[in-house]
Amino acid sequence: METDSMQNPFENRAPSLEGPATDIMAVTPDNTSDLPEVATALYVETGGNLSLVTERGTQRQVAVADFTFLPVGTRRVMASGTTASGIHALVVG
C-alpha cells in the first residue's frame, strides 16, 4: 500500500476535543511524573482500580472493567492504587 497517495482526513482539521484522538500512548503508572501530554481519555485493557490525577489536578480513584474507555482529562496515572493494566492515553494535538 502506498502511503503517498493515502488521503489524510486530519490534514486540514484543527485538533478538537469533539473529534477523534490523534494519537494513543501506552501509560506506565507513576506517582511523580505527569503524562507527556494531558490525555482526553484513557483506555484500559484489563480492569481493576485506576488512580489518576485529572486535568484539574484532582486525584481520583475509580474501578473500571476490562476494555473500558474513560473519557476524563488525565494528567497522571498513579502507580499507588492502580491495579488495572494495559492502560493507554488518548491525546489530541
Q: Which residues contact 3 (CB under 8 A, 6 or more apart)?
A: none
Whether 15 shows a pLDDT value over 60: the answer reads no
CA-only gyration radius of the chain, Å = 15
Beta-bridge partners for 54: 74
- DSSP-derived 3-state class of residue 48: strand
pLDDT in tens, 29-78: 999 999 999 999 999 999 999 999 999 999 999 999 999 999 999 999 99
List 24's β-bridge partners, or say none.
90
- The C-alpha atoms of residue 50 and residue 78 are separated, in whole angstroms, by 8
- Torsional class of 30: left (φ above 0), alpha (ψ -120 to 50), beta (otherwise): beta
pLDDT-derived band at 20, boundaries 50, 70, 90: confident
Nearest-angstrom CA–CA distance, 24 and 39: 9
